[in-house]
Amino acid sequence: MKKRLLMLALLGHALAAQAAHAGTHRHHLKVDDALSHPKTHKTPLLRVQSHIALIYDEQDRRPLYNKNSETVVPIASITKLMTAMVMLDARLPMDEAVSVEEDELNRIRRAKSRLRVGMTLTRSEMLKLALMASENRAALALARSYPGGPAAMVAAMNAKARVLGMQNTRFFDPTGLDSDNVSTAQDLVKMVAAARLYPLIHQYTTSTSHSVEGLRGRPVRFSNTNPLVRNASWDIGVSKTGYISEAGLCLVMEAKIKQRPVIIVLLDSWGKHTRVGDANRIKKWMEKVSFQDSQRS
């Protein structure tokens, strides 16, 4: 009888131990299953309409998005960022008077300008209008006032491009009306990064508007060609637009999105709002990705 009771006790203990082991094993299976099938966080798809696009993360020094960034194309008035840099490098008096003279602007491109021949502004105002309103006659006036004239300025622009490592960039005029002014999105990232180091370029490219005195004493008001500078949700450090038929609509910006500094290059866009629409899509995409990253940590 004692042996039978002892056997029953040992059997009960063995069954209890087996049940405990089985429960532990089932728990480990659940953990392993969760590890082998983690919850996936899909990165939202970015659809950019511009033919060429590049988003460059200045903090990590890497591209976040790349679309045909090595293609050499005309860059239109994006050129004026380089025009501004070499002019500022020359350290010319910014309060010196600079006049609009007769030119071949309309013969080249039938480009419209609200600056009339004979108008005189300070070099500072000409620079502001060239950058903010993309005024071609302002850029030409700056080139004429450059030591050695337009040819010397273009030579300085190409020299600076080489210093910045812009190997696929060439300049033939200071306005961008010449379709032989070409570059790549990769090169333009370098140019925008360099331009951001000039306080006046930051100030002028992000100004919303500026008024000057016309020939008859009436104020002439100019607005920024990039409507995003008037959008409070954007934190823009450098902005420049461009357009000629060979280049399409172009936009470059240095901006902070979710406190992250990035350079955005959009080239060969078509449609009235394509480049601006692409920029807004990029901003929303980065905000979404940044939010998901913060949720994972």
Task: Indicate which residue of 50, 69, 113, 134 is catalytic.
Answer: 134
Q: What angle do CA 277, 283, 285 make, to 5 degrees?
A: 100
Structure tokens given for 61: 């020094």
Measure CA of the first residue to CA of the last residue in the chain; give whole Å.
Answer: 64
Give the three-state DSSP class for 66. Answer: strand
Q: Is 77 a catalytic residue?
A: yes
Query: Which DSSP string do the residues of 69-127 spell out, in sequence order?
Result: TT--EE-GGGGHHHHHHHHHHTT--TTSEEE----SHHHHH----SSPTT-EEEHHHHH
Rounded CA separation 295/271 (Å): 36
Q: Is 269 a catalytic residue?
A: no
Task: Indicate which residue of 67, 80, 128, 190 is catalytic.
Answer: 80
Task: Indicate which residue of 50, 69, 77, 269 is catalytic.
Answer: 77
Q: Is 134 a catalytic residue?
A: yes
User: What is the C-alpha R_g of the chain?
Assistant: 30
For residues 291 and 40, the answer to whether their CB atoms sit within 8 Å is: no
Burial class (CB in 10 A: 0-12, 13-18, 19+), 207: middle
Catalytic site residues?
A: 77, 80, 134
